């Protein structure tokens, strides 16, 4: 598998633009939030980047408004990335469906490919809902949709590996890379749960700790959340460049 694709097809360009937008929508709000003192460098959860601008009532009953662009950039950028991903999932399904039929694969793998695209679209909808439900205003819906998204992306990654193994002459090195990234994602999720502060529920950590907690209390859990995103999602999705060579989104 190539690490860098120079002469990219239309479909590869769409995929890589989506990944670049997602990457920048995570990194830039982090830099802004740390620079303006809204977040400690070590380490906010990804969702905490959406805290600002925020409004709350202090102990004296005064409504306090705190500004900051990071939440707007985070939500808008990730929403756009989610929308751009929708035709990519459909293109992958269609290509793999043709390859499976050419390889005379069992019908269960055709169904598994269909399951892959359904899970991917549900995960995308959950993702868009997540990034548009600010953590400090809707902690429970945000936690539920984020949890659904994380679980589905890991599962669809596993299903995709099983599906492409049935395609004749599919590169083994691509499959091995995907297995490594997928396993890294599962490991990160398990370690995230193990490092959640005692007495706190992983999906509802913000609600349990309150808005003004120190990030250090969940720094390790946050680290594994970031690792899960950069391995099992951004890293894993980048491997789809192989499948999208010479492909177009719009014919």
**Average pLDDT for runs of 10 along the chain of length 251:** 79 96 95 84 83 61 65 91 96 96 95 97 95 83 90 96 96 96 96 80 58 67 93 95 90 71
**Segments making up each domain of the chain, as ranges:** 10-241
Strand positions, DSSP E, the chain: 54-57, 63-66
Q: State how far the Cα of 198 lies from the Cα of 221, in Å rounded to an integer.
A: 12
Q: Across-strand partners of 54? A: 66
Q: pTM for this one?
A: 0.87
Cβ pair 131, 75 in contact under 8 A = yes
**Residues with Cβ within 8 Å of residue 109, at least 6 apart in sequence:** 100, 162, 163, 166
3-class secondary structure, 99: helix
The structure tokens 């995308």 sit at 124
């Amino acid at each position: 598998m190539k690490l860098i694709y120079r002469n990219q097809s239309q479909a590869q360009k769409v995929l890589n633009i989506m990944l670049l937008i997602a990457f920048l929508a995570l990194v830039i709000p982090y830099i802004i939030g740390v620079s303006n003192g809204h977040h400690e460098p070590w380490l906010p959860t990804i969702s905490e980047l959406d805290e600002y601008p925020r409004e709350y009532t202090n102990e004296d009953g005064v409504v306090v408004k705190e500004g900051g662009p990071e939440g707007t950039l985070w939500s808008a950028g990730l929403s756009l990335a989610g929308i751009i991903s929708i035709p990519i999932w459909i293109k992958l399904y269609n290509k793999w469906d043709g390859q499976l039929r050419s390889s005379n694969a069992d019908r269960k793998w055709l169904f598994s490919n269909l399951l892959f695209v359904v899970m991917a679209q549900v995960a995308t909808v959950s993702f868009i809902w997540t990034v548009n439900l600010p953590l400090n205003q809707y902690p429970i819906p945000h936690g539920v949709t984020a949890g659904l998204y994380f679980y589905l992306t890991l599962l669809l990654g596993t299903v995709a590996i099983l599906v492409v193994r049935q395609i004749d002459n599919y590169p083994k090195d691509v499959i091995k890379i995907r297995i490594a990234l997928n396993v890294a994602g599962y490991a990160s999720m398990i370690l995230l749960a193990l490092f959640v502060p005692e007495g706190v529920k992983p999906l509802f950590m913000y609600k349990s700790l309150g808005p003004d907690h120190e990030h250090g209390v969940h720094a390790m859990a946050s680290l594994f959340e970031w690792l899960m995103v950069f391995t099992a999602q951004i890293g894993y999705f980048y491997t789809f460049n192989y499948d999208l060579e010479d492909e177009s989104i719009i014919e």
